Amino acid sequence: MRNLDRITNPFNDDKVIANCGIFGVMNTAGGKMSGRDVIEAMANMHDRGNGLGGGFAAYGIYPEHPEEYALHVMFETQRAREETERALQEWFRIGAQEPIPTRNTRGIANAPILWRYFVEPLQEEAIPPTPDGAIALTPDDYVVDRVMVINTSIDGAFVFSSGKNMGVFKGVGHAEDIGTFFCLDEYQAYLWTGHSRFPTNTQAWWGGAHPFSILDWTVVHNGEISSYGTNRAFLEMYGYYCSMHTDTEVIAYATDLLVRKHGLPISVVAKVFAAPLWQDIDRMPSPDRETYTALRQVYGSLLMNGPFAVIIAHQGEMIGLRDRINLRPLVAGSKGDLLFLASEEAPIRLVCPDVERTWAVQGGEPVIGRLFEGIVEPGVDRSAVYEEPCIERFYGHKGQREVHSLSGMRAAM
């Protein structure tokens, strides 16, 4: 055993910085899946976590509340709950509220008070006129603002999920135990993501587990964002405040800013987070070179430095992305209408033994699965050979080389 330790940990490091396990599955035809398979997939990657955090996001789980924001909130004290509920009654119409169902689970202890509220902004509060006649807040803007107020101003209260017809479930423990604790085997969703945490630079607490969420955007992440300070400062200029004490939070907020508020397509957002190297940009043909240069100049503070692999999801879409030099693993798989993303191939084959194909996601190239459209971006070099008709439709003949083409991105913008 000592000899094995010398090979696997030659410098006697007390942490494993390459760990964390991520998993995602989407039925692009909209079919619902039980959370049981996702729990099993995360259990397969048990050793990627150390029991200090796990969580899941599920989409399509509240069909009885399709137009209400589902606020999942954790409270450290009853006083925090009472203060939060007074604020919610002032800001929102509360259609329903209840404790989030849980069950006694070995390995899960010291859980906070967990509650969910289905709310709609009061019209006069959600769209207040501005003194200078500027464009008023949208309901989404208002919800984001109220979430930030709760998370930064009410001691002991944390909103950890705030989208419509979706929810985040997370806490301290192994991922499979968290899934059992939250009774996720009883939920049905068309899109699931999961995370097993191995914290390296931050403390383990219930709010710091993944996924991180704002509105219906969720992020699960394996890696370390060394640009966190720069990213955080940029986001604070736009009213996003990081209160969960972990670098992954900036990815969720940055995605919401770029897609919802700035109107960028997710394929362009991927090129902001994992931008091509300057030496590659210099070799691009015009006007691609000008477009990438502009992205780096305008959004340079949202470049995600450091090793990472992420699965980003929102209603109708799942995206996988790795850092541009492939320092963290991410594998994709597909069968029929199903798209899988995972840190390893093993959990994909566990839950889908007859998966039709698997492939390694290329650094800086997003995998995008879209509801009713299938796989619209495969996340690989465009010279790769594929048999999938939808991929041929997007990238032309098999084996054709198309490097850094942004025509589709500019059209989308």
Give catalytic residue positions.
20
Q: Distance (Å, rounded) from C-alpha 153 to C-alpha 147?
A: 10
Tokens linked to 250: 């900036």
- CA quadruple 323, 163, 228, 223: dihedral sign: negative
Q: Scan for tokens 């009853």, then name that residue.
A: 78
Which among 181, 52, 179 has a CA at the least distance from the CA of 105?
Answer: 181
Token match 């995972």: residue? 342
Structure tokens at 278: 């300057």
**3 state SS of 119:** strand
In order, the DSSP letters of 286-341 are TTHHHHHHHHHHHHGGG---SSEEEEEEETTEEEEEE-TT--S--EEEEETTEEEE
Nearest to 210 by CA among 63, 343, 368, 78: 343
What are 43's two structure tokens?
Answer: 């259990």
Q: How far, in Å, CA of 47 to CA of 49, rounded? A: 5
Strand partners, 55: 170, 195
| DSSP annotation of 221 | E
Rg of the chain taking only CA atoms, in angstroms: 21
Give the span between the Cα atoms of 46 and 204, in whole angstroms: 17
Contact 20, 47 (CB under 8 A): no
Distance (Å, whole) CA 323 – CA 328: 7
Task: For residues 370 and 389, give the distance between their C-alpha atoms in angstroms, rounded to a whole number.
Answer: 15
Q: What totals of helices (H) and strands (E) does the chain contain, helices first?
A: 14, 19
Residue 69 β-bridge partners = 119, 164
Q: Which helix (H) or strand (E) holds 101?
A: none
